[in-house]
């Protein structure tokens, strides 16, 4: 990831640069030689580095509401001020936005397009109730084909079908490898923690469709498999296994990890990290556009609550968890809506303890650490 | 009788301490308004209840200041209130604790274990502070609330969204000539409606509703909560001491 951001410093003028949302089928841009920047990933780095308050304030001064997603405010603030913890972000030649994660990205990328005066390609993915009907998938597929034509014009070269098949194959392989890494935690004790997963997910999000990404996960999988074989856990003593729903609390991740580990609790699975193992496996090198339409329409945030519930229940069973923490994320409304019902249904159907924890993925001003810790402690005491 | 364990509940509004015997009965208790200098106050209250017990008697601590209690074992309010209430009632059900800045709804199992809980997040409009602030504005002592509310002809509607806004709302109501007793009754109902909403999640399946915390000493509040929840509300004996009792029980040797 360091190399990726380092390359970014020298990308401008050398290769075409695209800024993309985390749910965009980035692999389709790979053959054109784009250096890709993920504003969301960048905002998460700002969160861990505790720069959000400064950057978000810059966006708020420009009139953006504090009720907006803190990722959006952080990145707009970074664009307005030029401040970033990664040295320098290359200016985009193309903006790629897919609404499968939320509608906020649409307005966020429009603001970026206005600022940078570059083309914006938008993939609008209709919300899915059950399974997406063929005409909607066709609609998404048509947009994907058009997006690649725009990207070709920006990059000034054409994509060969063979190249698309190859990157799609790589993307699929990467997602499957990531899935294998996550599945290692079905062992007892889990060889790593869900919090480790939040950090190791960066390549599958940002470098999907590259051999570097896949090499990374082969190495990670082998190391985890070795730990499983030797019975080495992610924490010293795993007494209770938990599921985490929603994004991490980036700025509070260390206190959270310490608090849990001290009491023998491990997040062995998270719906968030799993999302990148779920969608990518549906892409198919034989039909890059058609399969991408299916894969990127059926992502957890673009599917109904019934699907969310089924996903959480399945994870809870596969990873044999004793409890779940649903992070009610002030910044991510699509992920947080319905959690009150999810909480009740999960606790009744699976007979597990479920905690609703109010926080924010990156704005510390929307989080009361004392109250948060109190809730978690009380939740953990309940297992005694 | 010599105390077998001490418990202290360092709350946001009051600080409570109890001494219990080896079966967990309260021998002695002390309550003071909370002092921001936590350590000396805790020492003073523990000394007040310690009696003949020596320095080695175990101390359980709960409440916001629990980590500041030297030599005490810190346990969260949820666990302590559950233990304290179950020790006094011996029955499963929904426990509502209305404290100064926290309102908790806890569902207790057959053995007194915590099955589920909910607490007010981010905002303290559904807690004792709400009444404290507004009664202060109306110059009504807490002790007169029950009589005023009981004598009110009708309740005047007061919103409970925000303590600060409710304060200005109440000022306008007084200015508009609304009767004071009706406003006080309205305040109790407004607070109770917010608490009832919080309790709906964990309390959906509980048969009995118990109330603890300083506000449980207030008959008007108990009546208002029963009205809003649509079922009887039983006050846990010594409601203000439930947290401190639970803290003491958490370190009581026999119970450990």
The domain segmentation of chain B, as residue ranges, is 5-81+241-251
Q: Under an 8 A CB cutoff, do A377 and B76 touch?
A: yes
Distance of CA B242 to the CA centre of its chain: 8
What Å distances lie between residue B47 and B53, B64, B69, CA to CA?
10, 20, 13
Q: Under an 8 A CB cutoff, do A375 and B119 touch?
A: yes
Q: What is the DSSP string of B62-100?
A: EETTGGGSTTPEE--HHHHHHHHHHHHH---EEEEEE-S
Domains of chain A plus CATH, in order, are 2-157 (3.40.50.11890), 163-381 (3.40.50.11900)
Which range (A114-118, A327-331, B120-124, B172-176) has the least confidence?
A: B120-124
Give CATH for domain B5-81+241-251.
3.30.420.40
* Tokens, residue A266: 């491990």
* Residues of B whose CB is below 8 A from A377: 76
Chain A nearest C-alpha distance from B114 (Å): 6
Find the CB nearest A347 among B75, B114, B116: B116
Of all residues in chain A, the one with the smallest CA distance to B80 is A378
Chain B nearest C-alpha distance from A56 (Å): 21
Query: Is residue A9 predicted with pLDDT exceeding 70?
Result: yes
Measured at the CA of B173, the angle between CA B169 and CA B177, to 5 degrees, comes to: 170
- Mutation pick from A326, A350, A382 vs chain B, by most beta carbons of B within 10 Å, is A382
CA distance A363 to A366: 6
* Residues of A whose CB is below 8 A from B76: 374, 377-378, 381
pLDDT values of chain B reduced to their tens digit, one per residue, 256 residues:
899 999 999 998 999 999 999 999 999 999 999 999 999 999 999 999 999 998 899 999 999 899 999 999 999 999 999 999 999 999 999 999 998 888 999 999 999 999 999 988 778 888 888 888 899 989 999 889 999 999 998 999 988 778 888 889 999 999 999 999 999 999 999 999 999 999 988 887 788 999 999 999 999 999 999 999 999 999 999 999 999 999 999 999 874 4
CA distance A372 to A384: 19
Find the CB nearest A378 among B64, B79, B113: B79
- The verdict on B109 touching A (C-beta cutoff 8 Å) is no
């Amino acid at each position: 990831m360091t190399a990726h951001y380092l390359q970014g410093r020298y990308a401008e003028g050398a290769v075409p640069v695209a800024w993309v949302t985390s749910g965009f089928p980035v692999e389709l841009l790979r053959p054109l030689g784009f250096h890709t920047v993920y504003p969301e990933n960048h905002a998460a780095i700002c969160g861990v580095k505790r720069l959000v308050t400064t950057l978000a304030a810059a966006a708020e001064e420009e009139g953006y509401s504090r009720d907006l997603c803190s990722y959006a405010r952080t990145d707009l603030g970074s664009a307005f001020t030029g401040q970033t913890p990664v040295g320098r972000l290359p200016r985009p030649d193309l903006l790629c936005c897919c609404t499968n994660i939320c509608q906020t990205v649409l307005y966020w990328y429009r603001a970026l397009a206005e600022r940078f005066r570059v083309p914006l390609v938008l993939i609008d993915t209709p919300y899915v109730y059950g399974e997406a009907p063929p005409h909607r998938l066709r609609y998404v597929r048509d947009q994907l084909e058009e997006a690649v034509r725009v990207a070709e014009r920006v990059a000034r070269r054409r994509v060969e079908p063979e190249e698309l098949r190859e990157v799609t194959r790589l993307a699929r392989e990467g997602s499957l490898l990531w899935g294998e890494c996550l599945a290692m935690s079905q062992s007892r004790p889990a060889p790593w923690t869900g919090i480790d997963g939040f950090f190791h997910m960066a390549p599958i999000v940002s470098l999907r469709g590259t051999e570097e990404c896949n090499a990374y996960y082969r190495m990670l999988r082998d190391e985890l498999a070795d730990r499983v074989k030797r019975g080495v856990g992610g924490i010293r003593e795993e007494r209770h296994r938990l599921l985490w729903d929603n994004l991490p609390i980036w700025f509070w991740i260390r206190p959270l990890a310490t608090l849990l580990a001290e009491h023998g609790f491990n997040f062995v699975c998270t719906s968030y990290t799993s999302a990148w193992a779920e969608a990518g496996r549906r892409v198919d090198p034989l039909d890059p556009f058609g399969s991408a339409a299916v894969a990127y329409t059926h992502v957890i945030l673009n599917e109904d609550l019934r699907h969310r519930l089924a996903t959480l229940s399945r994870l809870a069973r596969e990873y044999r968890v004793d409890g779940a923490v649903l992070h009610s994320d002030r910044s991510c409304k699509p992920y947080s809506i319905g959690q009150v019902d999810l909480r009740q249904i999960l606790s009744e159907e699976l007979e597990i303890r479920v905690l609703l924890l109010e926080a924010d993925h990156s704005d510390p001003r929307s989080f009361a650490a004392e109250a948060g810790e109190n809730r978690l402690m009380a939740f953990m005491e309940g297992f005694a | 009788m010599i105390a077998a364990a001490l418990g202290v509940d360092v709350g946001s509004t009051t600080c409570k301490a109890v001494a219990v015997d080896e079966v967990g009965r309260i021998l002695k208790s002390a309550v003071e308004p909370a002092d921001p200098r936590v350590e000396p106050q805790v020492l003073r209250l523990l000394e007040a209840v310690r009696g003949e017990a020596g320095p080695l008697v175990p101390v359980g601590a709960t409440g916001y200041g629990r980590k500041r209690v030297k030599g005490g074992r810190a346990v969260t309010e949820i666990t302590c209130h559950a233990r304290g209430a179950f020790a006094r009632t011996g029955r499963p059900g929904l426990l509502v604790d209305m404290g100064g800045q926290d309102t908790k709804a806890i569902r207790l199992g057959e053995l007194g274990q915590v099955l589920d809980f909910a607490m007010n997040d981010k905002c303290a409009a559904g807690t004792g502070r709400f009444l404290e602030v507004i009664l202060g504005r109306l110059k009504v002592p807490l002790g007169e609330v029950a009589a005023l509310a009981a004598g009110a002809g009708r309740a005047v509607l007061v919103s409970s969204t925000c303590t600060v806004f409710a304060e200005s709302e109440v000022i306008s109501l007084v200015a508009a000539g609304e009767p004071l007793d009706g406003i006080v009754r309205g305040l109790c109902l407004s607070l109770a409606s917010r608490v009832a909403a919080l309790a709906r999640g964990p309390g959906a399946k509980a048969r009995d509703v118990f109330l603890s915390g300083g506000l449980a000493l207030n008959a008007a509040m108990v009546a208002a909560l029963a009205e809003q929840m649509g079922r009887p509300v039983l006050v846990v004996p010594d409601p203000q001491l439930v947290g401190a009792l639970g803290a003491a029980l958490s370190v009581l040797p026999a119970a450990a």
